[in-house]
Amino acid sequence: MSFPVRSVLGASRSPLLRGSLSVRLSSTAAKQTTLKERLAELIPIQQENVKRIRAEHGKKSFGPVLVDQVYGGMRGLPALIWDGSVLDADEGIRFRGKSIPECQDLLPKAAGGSEPLPEGLFWLLVTGEIPTQEQVSQLSQDWAARAAIPEFVEEILDRCPPSLHPMSQFSLAVTALNHNSAFAKAYQDGISKKDYWGPTFEDSMDLIAKLPNIAGRIYRNVFGQGKLPAIDSTKDYSHNLASLLGFAEDPAFVELLRLYITIHSDHEGGNVSAHTGKLVGSALSDPFLAYAAALNGLAGPLHGLANQEVLIWLRKMQSKLGENPSDDAVKEYIWSTLKGGQVVPGYGHAVLRKTDPRYTAQRTFALKHLPEDPLFKLVGQIYNLVPDILLEAGKAKNPWPNVDAHSGVLLTHYGLTQMQFYTVLFGVSRAFGVAAQLIWDRALGAPLERPKSYSSAAIDQIFRDKQ
Ligand code: FAM
């Protein structure tokens, strides 16, 4: 199904993006404002911008809706607004107009590091601007100060059976954080609609800040890795997360986490997790409830759980074919997956039609840090074989690898071998995009989402009547 509006939405220099903060506002690098202060300056400007766009174009048609799209998971249907990131089918994701290599180049780094600090990416997603080193340090400190989780949430996690999937535990704990939601309290106290964004911002900051303690506790409980260390308020977010998982001694792993969180943070508004967060948030459920719902979507095998599925698939392949399988043996294994009615995990995408630049960023990291890793070599071998096979099979619209084809191999290399945990790390990262979106939705007064559903009989009747 081809749909012209998708290319307009996907283009990084599209009229839609040109009207957004990312291009209109210049960086305020010299001014050491906090993120919340800067946001307070930007919100009225963007409110006016949206008002103008709606006044000028509000009654114009924005492309046709095909019946196939209504049945086909709404692919390409223009239905959502999110300025934070835009996904182009060919060139991949841009965060506020910046590609992954541009973010790697422009965003502040840790001392001695070369990957971007996710704190900077969050600042970029929220403001459209590149923060200074000092502004990023402020965020690291703020998140470290907010990182503790309530004791009853620790108890919930400690009581979960280790057989409960880490993503279910993650979602339970995030839901329970709603106990202390500033937004839920303010709403009960009668907050005015124009002030919604303030407590949403506070909850969003708390949410992001508390995720390492939740993820670390799940990891250590489920996989028996001993007691959690304390958060170090002098370290950045990724360093603290690595430390809670027990991997902070390895600077390359910490660098990997910085890159990992940055590239997994956001993938425009329509993917299952981002859209679920926005949808649930539109009912004015607070950011904890909205993000827990998003996590439940991320936990599906066609979305975030694919990173676990890839490793399971690779391990099964290795145990069947041995360490250095021939191309022919690997091809046969791939065909047997397809003939068994299963998908090749880590390949294909609902929007992308080329190799995912998030895959490429991870491959570049692997070539730098672990070029001789046997599993990395297998991933490279599969990359050379799967696309032709998917093309020959003739169903997948995109035969190229996505982000999940690579991430597990990198984590495995550094000793984080428990694949059931991988989607939790995706979940920590995706909070950055969903939180930024929730803040802006409340600032711009996004309404309750309520699209129209039709019965098949009604669709049939509408087009019979037109004949
Ligand atoms: N292996 C085998 N078949 C595939 C395939 C793959 N990797 N990708 C797509 N197809 C099939 C798909 O199942 C569908 O078959 P049916 O007509 O029998 O239903 C057909 O090709 C057309 O699908 P499409 O239009 O190309 O893809 P969709 O937009 O429907 O779905 C994905 C997109 C990602 C769900 C799909 O490509 C897939 O299942 N990939 C494997 C799972 C995966 O890696 N998911 C992670 C995606 C990732 F980016 C993320 O969200 N984290």
Q: Is 356 a catalytic residue?
A: no
End-of-domain residue from the set 72, 98, 132: 132
Please report the pLDDT score of residue 225 as a whole number.
79
User: pLDDT by residue (tens digit) across 193-220?
Assistant: 999 999 999 999 999 999 999 999 999 9
Whether the pLDDT of residue 1 is over 60: the answer is: no
| Residue 404: active-site member | yes
Cβ(351) – ligand 1 distance below 6 Å: no
Q: Could you confirm whether 303 is annotated as catalytic?
A: yes
Give the per-residue pLDDT at 22.
46
Instruction: Quote the pLDDT of residue 2.
Output: 33
Residue 42, domain extent: 4-132
Residue nearest to atom 34 of ligand 1 (CA): 349
Give 108's pLDDT tier (boundaries 50, 70, 90): very high
Stretch 414-436: mean pLDDT? 98
Which one of 239, 275, 349, 406 is the catalytic residue? 349
Q: Which of 269, 284, 297, 325 is nearest to 426 (CA)?
A: 297
pLDDT surpasses 60 at 19: no
pLDDT at position 314: 96
Q: What is the CATH number of the domain that holds 106?
A: 1.10.580.10
Computed over every residue of the chain, the mean pLDDT equals 93
239, 267, 275, 303: the catalytic one is 303
Domain assignment present for 455: no
Ligand 1 center to residue 112 CA distance, Å?
39
Query: 20 CB under 6 A from ligand 1?
Result: no
Confidence of residue 30 (pLDDT cuts 50, 70, 90): low
Q: Is 304 in the pocket of ligand 1 (CB under 6 A)?
A: yes
C-alpha distances out from residue 154 to 160, 168, 176, 241, Å: 10, 15, 10, 17
Q: Is 43 part of a structural domain of the chain?
A: yes
Question: pLDDT tens-digit profile of 221-273?
Answer: 999 878 999 999 999 999 999 999 999 999 999 999 999 999 999 999 999 99
CA distances for 467 relative to 93, 292, 463, 464, angstroms: 42, 46, 6, 5
Our answer on whether the CB atom of 117 is closer than 6 Å to any ligand 1 atom is no
- Output 22 or 144, whichever has higher pLDDT: 144
Which residue minimizes the CA distance to atom 30 of ligand 1? Answer: 350
Q: What band does 23 get if pLDDT is binned at 50, 70 and 90?
A: very low
Cα 135 from Cα 124, distance rounded (Å): 11
Of the three residues 92, 114, 132, the one that is the final residue of a domain is 132
Residues 84 and 172 in one domain: no
DSSP string covering 119-147:
HHHHHHHHHSSPPPHHHHHHHHHHHHHT-
Residue 32, pLDDT score = 85
Domain for residue 76, yes or no? yes
- Is residue 96 located within the same domain as residue 106? yes
In a domain, 203, yes or no: yes
Which tens digits make up the pLDDT trace of 361-400? 999 999 999 999 999 999 999 999 999 999 999 999 999 9
Residue 169: inside a domain: yes
pLDDT tens for each residue of 442-453: 999 999 999 999
Number of separate domains in the chain? 2
Asked if residue 212 and residue 111 are part of one domain, the reply reads no
Q: How far is CA 166 from CA 308, 374, 384, in A?
A: 11, 27, 32
| Statement: residue 408 has pLDDT above 90 | yes
Domain assignment of residue 465, yes or no:
no
Residue 8 pLDDT greater than 90, yes or no: no
Q: What is the structure's pLDDT at 31? A: 59
Same structural domain for residues 333 and 431? yes
Q: Residues near 368 by Cβ (< 8 Å), separated by ≥ 6?
A: none
